Amino acid sequence: MRFLRRFLIRLSNFVTRRSADQRLREEIAEHLAFQTEENLRAGMSPTEARRQAVLKLGAAEAIRQDHHAEQSLPLVENLLFDLKYAVRMLGRSPGFAFVAIATIALGIGATTAIYSVLDATLLHPLPYPNPAELIRIQDDLPGVGAQGVGISIPELRDLQSSGIFQSTSITGTGANVNLTGGEQPLRLSFKQVTPNYFAVLGVDAQLGRTFDPHDATPGYNLEVVISDGLWRREFAADPHILGKTLRLDNDAYQVVGVMPRAFRDQGSTSEEQNVELWLGAGFAGLPFPPPLRGSRLGSRVVVARLKPGLSIAAAQAHLDALVESLKKQYPEEYPAHTAWTVRLIPLSESVVGSIRQSLILLFGAVGLVLLISCVNVANLLLARASARGREIAVRQALGAERTRLIRQLLTESLLLFLLGGIAGFAILFSARKFLLQLVPESLPHLNNISISWGVLAFALAVSVVAGTVFGLAPAWLMSRVDLIGTLKQEGRGSNGSRERSRARQILVIGELALSLVLMVSAGLLLRSFWDLYKLQPGFNPERVMAVQTWLPGPNDPAADIYRTATEEAVLLREILRRSRTLPGVEEAAVGDRTALPLGHSHPSPLPLVREGIETMDNQAPQIDSPIVSPEYFHLLAMPLLRGRLFNDQDLEVTPQVAIINQAAARTYWPGQDPLGKRVRLSLTSRDVSSSGPLPWTTIIGVIADARTESLADSGIPQLYRSVYQRPAKSLAIFLRGQLDPRAVSAQMREQVQTVDPELPVFQAETLDDVLSSSLSVRRFSMEMVAFFAATALLLAGLGIYGTISYLVNEQRREIAIRLALGAQRGNILKMVLRRGLGLAAAGAALGVAGALIVSHLMAGLLFGVSPTDLPTFAGVTVVLTAVALAASYIPALRAMRLDPITALHSE
């Protein structure tokens, strides 16, 4: 306590700069007067009395220093002094200061930019209380190679009563719904959720309430919670919105609550995060299948909150035991060979999804750039050492301690790095709007990216750490001056620089190696991207546009005016007929959202049950099943290989038919003719609505594989069905021809709404755009890494230039003597270039080794190019060597043109 009090008083003295010096001086004067008087009384002469008094008092200066030390904070005072000195030193060499600060600003600014993306996505992916407790529950059937098959309601009840979770909810993955009754029918994203969903996330409504877990119904409970965005946009933030009725897909829902402005739904896609309506549902009654153990809720997600304090591993262990006992209890439902398992996945992980690897790669790349820029600055600091050798020697000769000198030099480099960090942050902050535009829209949590205090703290922390690490070595080397040698050499820099020059060469080799690693990564990514970009996708996206609409699907099927394919066909044929009359349109086709190439983030695969192949319940393979109109294949130029395409005679009343791609034929009928084979896309053999037996679907044609699911993978099985046999709600209308992309949306809206004014028309886009945005994350990371690699190359070039210039400068005398003795100028040039080449070779060798490790780590991000791709490695090495040679050429020329007489005279 007393120590603290003392410290606080000293701190306040330091801050207020109150000096007790005056007081001490007065006191000492009084003291001397008293003592002199006393001495006089003892009979001394006045002079002697005074002298004895001073002797008795002791060394006044030491007392003053002690007194001052007691009064203030010497450490901080020294620091301030060092800082002042450092500022003066930087001011004296503004060129050096500018280059160093700019280099650091580049490194730290870029690192901080990537960190801010990482911060919003990987580090804080869940904007909910206690996010670590939130998990996703996934059912797998590894025995039949099926993942994420969905949970069944009885299983959910088992989980709820297991004691592992606080609460367990089911949610949809975000789907379309039409909001009608406004000026224009609106297509919105909604999620069906169990009433406890918001309780699981731990978020309450800002207005009204969320669903009450107690009024759970088996089906829908006709209540809706809306987002703040929708509330403000469509309802002008009406405070009396509660209790109003919204017509969603022709059903009346009552608004019970508005979520807070900051609330965003969880999910890995921007679509899921932009959900604006939440409908309460029990998933256990119509229109959902009956709650049987065998009927899994395929495309639903289970989100739960663990009991507090329970680790995921412990919870998983409990869950495994539960699964084992359930398997024993219901052997019929869980056949041993399907190996049913239930997996807990941290919600944060599943939300970030596939973007993780790209972001880590980017952070690694930008980290290398930071490292290179720091090495460059360390190099500059060492170069300055030779210029300042004398100054340091003088200070040491005057009695400066070595630790004190290191502290001084470290203060200088810290100041440099902090200024650089602040500059980098300031640039980043002022350019943030522009930079955010470069980030692909498909990045999750794009809206959460911000340059916050946390990001500033990161930038400062990085500056301090980098300043300490990269300032310490130069400071250490600089303070090791050979005193006498340096002082004896009048006017010349220091010698004893052999050590420093070795340090500089090591730094440059490191820089070259790091930039080679970056360049190889960039090269491999570039080749992957290029290969993907140049790839024949197997369909022709040119001059094709897709426009989407959504047919309402009311809860009561009887109220659905587009319930059957026959009813829907009337609408679709009319829309297609009208579309073909639009200016420029040559062909038109229609398909569901799954049929939109590369444009859907949620394939919802269906179980494929093949006739004649024994399939127990829930062990069928899963297959994507787009629904298309007969013109689809011709419009997208997907060639038929065998059999026939759909035609206008394939109707709801005629036998069900399907077309598969080669991959499906290969996978499911290996070595057989798939034509004429029959399948069913349902695990149950009975129709839920009509309760008649489900008819078989016959395969009538095989088309060539196309990369409609993923550009990187051509072999994904597909099974197409006709929209005239199988109704679809989520529709994409495809148009080919000379189209005006800006006008199509309005033209189509007019045509569609002439047929049915309640249908929304949205998201008109060209397939070329869809294609290119499907590559956006790849393009983003490729461009960023390429930018970083170019920066690294530039910095490494500067580094090698600086080092060679320095070496040439060191060897001026030697070169001059050689020249004076008749050395060929060409030989001098070669000698210097050989130094540069030596550094480049060492750097390249190290870099290739590093690049081999890194390229294997990033193999998952590559496409069509091996991680050890020889042309990339060779090309990059050649480029690096060329840059190194070019950078050494200028100092080499200078060495060659050295005038021996002037050089030797100046020594």
| Nearest distance in Å: CB 17, other proteins | 16
Judge contact between 888 and 881, C-beta under 8 A: no
Burial 734-758 (b: 16+ CB within 10 A, else e): bbbbebeeeebbebbbebbbeebee
| Nearest distance in Å: CB 407, other proteins | 20
Please tell me the distance from the alpha carbon of residue 444 to that of residue 440, in angstroms, as a whole number.
9
| Nearest distance in Å: CB 265, other proteins | 59
Among 14, 18, 28, 540, binds other proteins (CB under 8 A): 28
Q: Which of residues 32-61 bind other proteins (CB under 8 A)?
A: 33-35, 37-38, 56-60
Please tell me the distance from the alpha carbon of residue 55 to that of residue 44, in angstroms, as a whole number.
14
* Residue 27 lies near other proteins (rule: CB under 8 A): yes
Q: Which is nearer to other proteins, 31 or 897 (CB)?
A: 31
Render 204-252 in DSSP notation, one character per residue. Answer: --SEE----GGG--SSEEEEEEE-HHHHHHHHTT-TT-TT-EEEETTEE
Among 21, 70, 567, 907, binds other proteins (CB under 8 A): 70
Which residue from 381, 389, 382 is spatially nearest to 483, judged by alpha carbons?
389
| Nearest distance in Å: CB 401, other proteins | 14
* Residue 401 lies near other proteins (rule: CB under 8 A): no
| Nearest distance in Å: CB 64, other proteins | 9
Q: Which is nearer to other proteins, 4 or 236 (CB)?
A: 4
Render 353-410 in DSSP notation, one character per residue. Answer: TTHHHHHHHHHHHHHHHHHHHHHHHHHHHHHHHHHHHHHHHHHHHTT--HHHHHHHHH
* Residue 73 lies near other proteins (rule: CB under 8 A): no
| Nearest distance in Å: CB 25, other proteins | 10
- φ, ψ dihedrals at 304, nearest 5°: -140, 160
Burial class (CB in 10 A: 0-12, 13-18, 19+), 890: middle
Among 2, 92, 433, 742, binds other proteins (CB under 8 A): 2
Q: What is the dihedral of CA 797, 803, 809, 812, to 10 degrees?
A: -90
| Nearest distance in Å: CB 78, other proteins | 17
Q: Which stretch binds other proteins (CB under 8 A): 1-9, 561-569, 660-668, 894-902?
A: 1-9
- Strand ranges inside 746-818, DSSP E: 761-766
Q: How many residues bind other proteins (CB under 8 A)?
A: 30
Q: Which is nearer to other proteins, 34 or 330 (CB)?
A: 34
* Residue 62 lies near other proteins (rule: CB under 8 A): yes
| Nearest distance in Å: CB 400, other proteins | 17
Q: Which is nearer to other proteins, 59 or 820 (CB)?
A: 59
Q: Which is nearer to other proteins, 34 or 98 (CB)?
A: 34
Which residue from 660, 663, 704, 667 is spatially nearest to 537, judged by alpha carbons?
704
* Cα–Cα distances in angstroms (integers) from residue 495 to residues 128, 476, 549, 891, in the given order: 62, 16, 79, 21
Instruction: State the CB neighbour count (10 A cutoff) for residue 579.
Output: 23
Q: Which stretch binds other proteins (CB under 8 A): 6-14, 329-337, 474-482, 865-873?
A: 6-14
* Cα–Cα distances in angstroms (integers) from residue 671 to residues 81, 249, 615, 706, 757, in the given order: 84, 46, 20, 21, 50
* Residue 66 lies near other proteins (rule: CB under 8 A): yes
* Residue 31 lies near other proteins (rule: CB under 8 A): yes
| Nearest distance in Å: CB 397, other proteins | 21
Q: Which of residues 7-26 bind other proteins (CB under 8 A)?
A: 9-10, 20, 23-24, 26
Each residue 169-208 as x (binds other proteins by CB under 8 A) or -, in order, gives: ----------------------------------------
- Residues 6 or more apart whose CB falls under 8 angstroms from that of 209 comprise 256, 257
Q: Could you tell me whether strands 277-281 and 186-193 are parallel, antiparallel, or unpaired per DSSP bridges?
A: parallel
* Residue 648 lies near other proteins (rule: CB under 8 A): no
| Nearest distance in Å: CB 422, other proteins | 36
| Nearest distance in Å: CB 16, other proteins | 14
Q: Which is nearer to other proteins, 60 or 820 (CB)?
A: 60
Please tell me the distance from the alpha carbon of residue 556 to that of residue 700, in angstroms, as a whole number.
34
- Residues 6 or more apart whose CB falls under 8 angstroms from that of 253 comprise 222, 223, 224, 245, 246, 247, 279
Instruction: Provide the phi-psi class of 208: left if phi over 0, else alpha when psi is between -120 and 50, else beta.
Output: left
* Residue 67 lies near other proteins (rule: CB under 8 A): yes
| Nearest distance in Å: CB 63, other proteins | 4
Instruction: Provide the phi-psi class of 691: left if phi over 0, else alpha when psi is between -120 and 50, else beta.
Output: left
Q: Which is nearer to other proteins, 31 or 232 (CB)?
A: 31
Residue length of the chain? 907
Q: Which is nearer to other proteins, 31 or 233 (CB)?
A: 31
Q: Which stretch binds other proteins (CB under 8 A): 63-71, 165-173, 243-251, 368-376?
A: 63-71
* Residue 746 lies near other proteins (rule: CB under 8 A): no
By the criterion CB under 8 A, which residues form the site for other proteins?
2, 5-6, 9-10, 20, 23-24, 26-28, 30-31, 33-35, 37-38, 56-60, 62-63, 66-67, 69-71
